[in-house]
Structure 1
Amino acid sequence: MRRKFLSKGFSVLLILSLVLALFSGCSNKTNENASDKEENDKPKATADAPGWESNKDPITFDWYVNFSWYAHKWGDDVVSKYVTDKTGVSVNFISPAGNEAEKMNTMIASGKLPDFITIGWWEDAVKKMIEGELVLPLNELADQYDPYFYKVADGAKIEWYKQEDGNTYGYPNASSSPKDFDKYKDLKPSNQTFLVRKDMYEAIGSPDMTTPEGFLKALEEAKKKFPEVNGAPLIPFGMNEFTDVGNTSLEGYLQNFLAIPMEKDGKVYDRSQDPEYLRWLKVFREANDKGLLAKDIFIDKRPQMEEKISQGRYFAMLYQRSDLAAQQHALYAKDPESIYIAVDGPANSKGDAPTLAGDSISGWTVTLISKDVKDKERAIQFLTYLISEEGQKDLYMGKEGETYDVVNGKPEFKPEVLDLLNKDRAAFDQQYGASYKYWMLMDTNMNLQWLPPASEPFKQMEDWTKGKTVSFAEFDGISPTGTSAEGVAASKIAQEWGKTLPKLLLAKSDKEFDKIFADFLKKRESFGYDKVAKYQQEYYELNKSKLDAAK
């Protein structure tokens, strides 16, 4: 009897199991069909339609910006809110608290990166990320998820950044193809300027500062006449911050003002050994000897510099004009005579006009997508949106009716918006976030169609650079990076130069200067400079052929 009951019970259980399995299968099939239907109903990304329009579900990407001074947040201003409402994408910006190279190396060593990475194109970390397979090819992402990318991306830039494996991993900002450079160089000239504080400069007689004698005398007279600025010591001369690999103001900027050639007779020229350059480095050594180089310039980072610029504490600077916009606004609001103006700066012994760098095809930074990105499809679609004309207009002009109106068919900032932009850039950024507050993928050619006319206190600085701007695109990226023998040698040389440059300025005599520089050259040779020079020549010739093909 018990065996019969168990047998009957087992049969019931078996039947129940089969029924449940049947229903479960039907349910799964139904879910699969619903999922398939939902996927089929979803608009497909094509070469004729932006992929981001197919999915606007909320998503937040972590975006690493490799500049310690970048401190903006997403979601607090009109532009970022508008972009999120339109695309569904929010951004969590991350920037290093200290040394940028150390932070990048730490992340690379960990094998994990944030979703997006924006970094100077010249940085060694770019090659490390690519060689370590830590970032994804943009072309493969576009092929798979958003072919519309090819409709809005600049083919010349894709080709320029194509690697040996045939893939392109980064897309640049502030980039100009050779055709664009020739077309726009007078509309958006060089950012490199020699600046003086207007009231102080005029008070000492607006002297000629193009010669070593005139330069030193002007610094002396400014310090004598204006020993303090609002109770703080005057800083006679300012420049970019010193890093572990040198100082851009005392390298490329100074060499460009001295019109030192990048090549001679088809061979890459070692500008660092040019007599005119060494002559002017010794001028700065003499300036330090005379007490005209404040200790601040050797230790200050960008935040400290920006604070001192806003206080008008520098008399003269070899600096990029766009990076003191907010401070120039503040000075202009307090006293229009206390602003900085561009004047003729250090020149070579022949008095040649400077050859200042304009936008090149390499641009300023490149943006890459991590292999660990949380959603590959949404990432390439968002990048495509940002580089498109629609995205560029949103980032530059903002939201129609709120930050701009269309007047006679052309977008124009509202009067109150433009007024704030011209008076208080920091407040403008905080409230509106337009005019490329989010510059990671800015197209500085495309935005010319929306650009308001230059006004003071910026017009004078911009106008001064016109006619002095040249392209150095064929020399972009010719210095080796990464873990190759050439890359390691170049890294060691750069680090050694970073130690040497301050020592040259702090030398007690020209004789000591010469010894320090000679020692650097010996170390440079021992590190493998011959390999670096050979690499530079090869890539210079390769760049020339690539640029010729892009014309």
Structure 2
Amino acid sequence: MRTWGKTSLALLTGALALTALAGCTDNNKGESGNNGNTSADASPGAASTAELQPIPTDIKDSSDLPAWTGKQLNLKIWLDHGTGGTYAGARKYKDDPVTNEIARVTGVKIDLDNSFDNGGNSTGAVKMGMLAATNNWPDLILDGDEMNSLVDNGKLYDLTDLLPQYAPNLMKKIPQTLSTVWDMPNVKQDGKVFMAPVSIYENALPELYPDLDPADYPLPHSMGYIYVRDDILKKLYPQAKTEQEIQDLYMQKGKFTKEDILDVPIHSTEDFISFLYNIQKLGIKEGNQEVSPFFVYSGQDNWNLMTMLFSSLYGGSSPGGDNSYFTYWDKTTDHLEWGFKQPYFKDLVKQMNQLLRDGVASKEAMVDPYNVFQQKLNNGLYAVSYGFLAPDNHALAAAGKPYRYRKVFLDIPRNDDKFIFASALPGARTRVGIFKDAVAEEDLPQVLRWLDFLSSDAGEKLWFWGPRSTGLFDEKEDGTRVYKDKALEAQMVYNKQGTLAQQYGLELSNGSNDDRTMSDYISFTGRGRFYPGTWYDKQRSPDEADTYFDMGRVERAPSTDTLKPNIYSFTSQVPEADKAWKARQAFEDALTKVLVAKDDNQFEKLFNDFLATAEKNGYTDELKDKIDAAFREANKNYMDNLLK
């Protein structure tokens, strides 16, 4: 049995004992297995054989499907994603055409009021222990790393043979040849599927549909970038384009060339550091406040600085974390290594410490909470930002600021001799497991049919267009669609603010209706072939310029077909990795302290203290070797690409 953790296992054992005792009284038939607790409204009987026929794979629109007349299921979901705390269980708009159409076709709704996530201050393992203690399991689990423990304790249905029978659309659109989807540790155990990969990331689309335009479906590029205030950039690089000039060029041409994008000559770490010191010499002020050229902390962890930026500076840019300060594959040793133990990492941390000592990096940022940092960034008080910390140009415009931030790509040569640049192999975006204790076995086909509908072309279209019967669009002879309502078109195609899409239950790709995204949005992919932004023959908008001002849309960067050697990808196979990753906060805190060293001697002491803290919290060479072994096993189909 894989480990639940002492607390979870004790809670589970006690809960099962209580359940067994209760079963003597409550289970009149003396049956074992599931309790058949799936919430059901209307007809209590199982659906007819005709209704349980799978969704045809050639259905173009949900309106072409007959209404379901069998049992109505109201499913409770556990969204096991991170620590949670953002789950919008009570959506503002519930009685909408999309929700009702899904129920019409499948007889299934999600119980939004009683679904939940991990609560904002606990992990999935802790939440699992709480559920085990009460034996009050939901109907479904979405994502998370708890599959193996749940399977070992008999909590999830084996879906291996059921998916081909009841989910032909899912099996067709996510074929089992996509091994990086189906062979994920949290999809299968011992060759059997326990969590269905019901949706995939968009990077799989070019492989599945080779005729798609790469400009509309870009893959990550190996060249990193920063955000720079364009008025400050122009002072140091007169040839550099302002954000307005980037937008004007897009409106004129509709696309960019490599030369258009690479208009700032930063070709090395030394160039970047000199750029920051040169900004300091300008002495820029925002009102009576000094503008800091840079920051090395943002009130969060160190990922943005020490993975996103550092990797771009040492020639191993990894937007997906391939070459992070945790684990990476080293081509010079042919082994997985700890990034934080490498000399280049220590050198860059020391360089960041020097920027702080010299006043180039903000000292206030070291103590500001994230919300204060964000306010300062969106008021132009930092000349340069990086990673996922994108400044809000709309906020600057609303405040009447005369400048904007723009991307500046770091044209630093790749270090192909040392680092890998992993291909964007297809991965599972959403995984769904079904609890035996909550879903009756007789209801399994209906639940799988519901998931299959959501994965189908008709289901994929539904999220963006609604059913044909609602009359939101006109359909052309070639099958493409146009919204009838210009206000709805503005929201769905041009990302304008509004409420119509929310009222109709449609999914907005810009996340402005997060209540849907974080509650009951299960679809084949985020922006698929029917996404209005790419399927629509639309007018250009200046707001789109930043999207297309991207190296990934002008060229495909060379990459290696391999899984990514990230530590967090192996927490289920390597218990010690799970333990270390859960102790990450102590690791991060000790590392952040190094940044504020007062002099070189204190830097050495604090860096050694950090290494000791890392060792104490499980980041040992022994763990590194175990992750290396697990990576080689998981990556066996691609290891020849790394060792040649």
Q: Structure 1 stretch 250-259 or stretch 69-78: which is displaced more?
A: 69-78
Counterpart code for 1:502: T
Counterpart code for 1:419: A
What pairs with 1:169-318 in structure 2 (closer than 5 Å)? 169-171=195-197, 173-174=200-201, 176-177=203-204, 180=207, 187-190=217-220, 193-205=225-237, 211-216=268-273, 218-219=275-276, 225-228=283-286, 236-237=294-295, 242-243=300-301, 246-251=302-307, 254-256=310-312, 258-260=314-316, 262-264=329-331, 266-291=334-359, 292-293=361-362, 295-296=364-365, 300-301=369-370, 311-318=379-386
Supply the distance in 2 between the matched residues of 1:228 and 1:485 (Cα, whole angstroms). Answer: 50
What pairs with 1:31-430 in structure 2 (closer than 5 Å)? 39-40=47-48, 43-46=51-54, 48=56, 54=68, 57=72, 59-64=74-79, 66=81, 68=84, 70=86, 72=88, 76=92, 81-88=96-103, 89-90=109-110, 92=112, 94-95=116-117, 98-99=120-121, 102-110=122-130, 111=132, 112=136, 114-119=138-143, 125=146, 128-129=149-150, 134-139=155-160, 142=163, 146=167, 149-155=170-176, 156=178, 157-161=181-185, 162-168=187-193, 169-171=195-197, 173-174=200-201, 176-177=203-204, 180=207, 187-190=217-220, 193-205=225-237, 211-216=268-273, 218-219=275-276, 225-228=283-286, 236-237=294-295, 242-243=300-301, 246-251=302-307, 254-256=310-312, 258-260=314-316, 262-264=329-331, 266-291=334-359, 292-293=361-362, 295-296=364-365, 300-301=369-370, 311-320=379-388, 327-331=392-396, 338-345=403-410, 347=412, 359-362=424-427, 366-373=431-438, 376-398=444-466, 404-407=473-476, 408-412=478-482, 415-420=486-491, 422=494, 424=496, 430=502
Supply the distance in 2 between the matched residues of 1:403 and 1:311 (Cα, whole angstroms). Answer: 40
Supply the distance in 2 between the matched residues of 1:348 and 1:222 (Cα, whole angstroms). Answer: 24
- CA shift for structure 1 position 138: 4.3
- CA shift for structure 1 position 448: 6.8
* Alignment partner of 1:447 is 2:516: no
Work out the percentage of aligned pairs sharing the same amino acid: 16
Supply the distance in 1 between the matched residues of 2:425 and 2:123 (Cα, whole angstroms). Answer: 27
- CA shift for structure 1 position 59: 2.5
- CA shift for structure 1 position 86: 0.9
Tell me the alpha carbon deviations over residues 269-310 of structure 1, each in whole angstroms, 9 at most, x when there is no partner: 443334433332223222322342354466645x66666665
The residue aligned with 2:545 is: 459
Candidates 527, 530, 534, aligned match of 2:621:
530
Counterpart code for 1:150: M
- CA shift for structure 1 position 103: 4.3
Supply the distance in 2 between the matched residues of 1:57 and 1:230 (Cα, whole angstroms). Answer: 63
Q: Structure 1 stretch 195-204 or stretch 368-377: which is displaced more?
A: 368-377
Q: Structure 1 stretch 497-506 or stretch 129-138: which is displaced more?
A: 129-138
Counterpart code for 1:387: S
Q: Structure 1 stretch 533-542 or stretch 221-230: which is displaced more?
A: 221-230
Specify the structure having the higher radius of gyration (Cα). Answer: 1
Q: Structure 1 stretch 458-467 or stretch 224-233: which is displaced more?
A: 224-233
- CA shift for structure 1 position 190: 2.4
TM-score normalized by structure 1?
0.71
TM-score normalized by structure 2?
0.62
Supply the distance in 2 between the matched residues of 1:242 and 1:113 (Cα, whole angstroms). Answer: 33
- CA shift for structure 1 position 424: 3.8
- CA shift for structure 1 position 85: 1.2
Counterpart code for 2:314: L
* Alignment partner of 1:434 is 2:507: yes
Counterpart code for 1:247: W
Aligned CA distance change for structure 1 residues 493 and 514 (closer, same or farther; 3 Å): farther
Counterpart code for 1:43: E
Aligned CA distance change for structure 1 residues 148 and 457 (closer, same or farther; 3 Å): closer
CA contact (8 A) 2:466 2:472 kept: yes
RMSD: 4.8
Structure 2 unaligned residues grouped into runs of 5+: 1-42, 60-64, 104-108, 241-263, 317-322, 324-328, 512-516
Supply the distance in 1 between the matched residues of 2:425 and 2:605 (Cα, whole angstroms). Answer: 36
Counterpart code for 1:434: E
The residue aligned with 1:20 is: none
Tell me the alpha carbon deviations over residues 10-33 of structure 1, each in whole angstroms, 9 at most, x when there is no partner: xxxxxxxxxxxxxxxxxxxxxxxx
- CA shift for structure 1 position 502: 0.9
Counterpart code for 1:417: L
| Secondary structure, counterpart of 1:44 in structure 2 | coil
Q: Structure 1 stretch 434-443 or stretch 275-284: which is displaced more?
A: 434-443
Tell me the alpha carbon deviations over residues 464-521 of structure 1, each in whole angstroms, 9 at most, x when there is no partner: 2323654675125665314855335643774543233212222223443344334444
Aligned CA distance change for structure 1 residues 85 and 320 (closer, same or farther; 3 Å): same
Supply the distance in 2 between the matched residues of 1:320 and 1:524 (Cα, whole angstroms). Answer: 25
- CA shift for structure 1 position 240: 7.0
Aligned CA distance change for structure 1 residues 258 and 132 (closer, same or farther; 3 Å): farther
Aligned CA distance change for structure 1 residues 83 and 431 (closer, same or farther; 3 Å): closer
Aligned CA distance change for structure 1 residues 38 and 516 (closer, same or farther; 3 Å): closer
Of Structure 1 and Structure 2, the greater helix share is in: 1
CA contact (8 A) 2:148 2:189 kept: no
Number of residue pairs matched by the alignment = 503
Supply the distance in 1 between the matched residues of 2:148 and 2:373 (Cα, whole angstroms). Answer: 31
Tell me the alpha carbon deviations over residues 138-165 of structure 1, each in whole angstroms, 9 at most, x when there is no partner: 4365367655542343321223454342
Tell me the alpha carbon deviations over residues 244-265 of structure 1, each in whole angstroms, 9 at most, x when there is no partner: xx52542255325533363315
| Secondary structure, counterpart of 1:451 in structure 2 | helix
| Secondary structure, counterpart of 1:66 in structure 2 | coil
Counterpart code for 1:532: L
What pairs with 1:21-40 in structure 2 (closer than 5 Å)? 39-40=47-48
| Secondary structure, counterpart of 2:352 in structure 1 | helix
Aligned CA distance change for structure 1 residues 500 and 238 (closer, same or farther; 3 Å): closer
| Secondary structure, counterpart of 2:76 in structure 1 | strand
